[in-house]
Amino acid sequence: MKKAIKYVVLLVAAFAVVFVSSNKSNQVFAASKPTYSKLYKTAKSKLHAHYSYGAVGPNCFDCSGYTKYIYKKSVKKNLPRTAQSQYQSFKKVSVQNRKPGDLVFFGGSKRSISHVGIYVGKGLMINAQNRGVVLESVSAPWWHAVGYSRPANLK
């Protein structure tokens, strides 16, 4: 009888260990999912940084260097180096389905992307350009939006 009780106690303990450890791994996974708030906080922290063609941060950027730096630093997502290669690398989304954190691309056409910014909602983006890192309208008259892409599914 004592052996049977020990066996049942061991079985219950083993089940409890498996259950608790699986819940912890799910919590770790859920906590590590990239969030828009982390991306936005990092992007905002670089407002007014200087612009320099070819610069990738941390204090000076060009447009694609900025998006690459922000995604890597905030959500551990590695983006290609140029605006054109960033456009070609990720799932496209329509204007109607864009979300904060998506990349917005500008240029003459889909084959001649010349600029990229991070869409932050309400028609605004943060981008690095000749005035430095700024918050501005996606529909500013000097930009011709070509499309949007979603490098990461942010919660």
Say which of 63, 78, 97, 153 is annotated catalytic.
Answer: 63
The active-site residue, picked from 50, 59, 97, 127, is 127
- Residue 126 to residues 40, 69, 95: CA-CA distances in angstroms? 9, 13, 17
The answer to whether 144 is a known catalytic residue is no
- Which residues 6+ apart lie within 8 Å of 69 measured at CB? 46, 56, 57, 58, 61
Cα dist from 94 to 47, 99, 108, 145, 148, whole Å: 27, 10, 18, 11, 7
Clarify whether 48 is annotated catalytic. Answer: no
Distances from the Cα of 120 to the Cαs of 1, 109, 144, in angstroms? Answer: 67, 23, 18
> In the annotation, is 59 catalytic?
no
The active-site residue, picked from 48, 59, 115, 144, is: 115
CA angle 21, 26, 30 (to 5 degrees): 150
**Could you list the active site residues?**
63, 115, 127
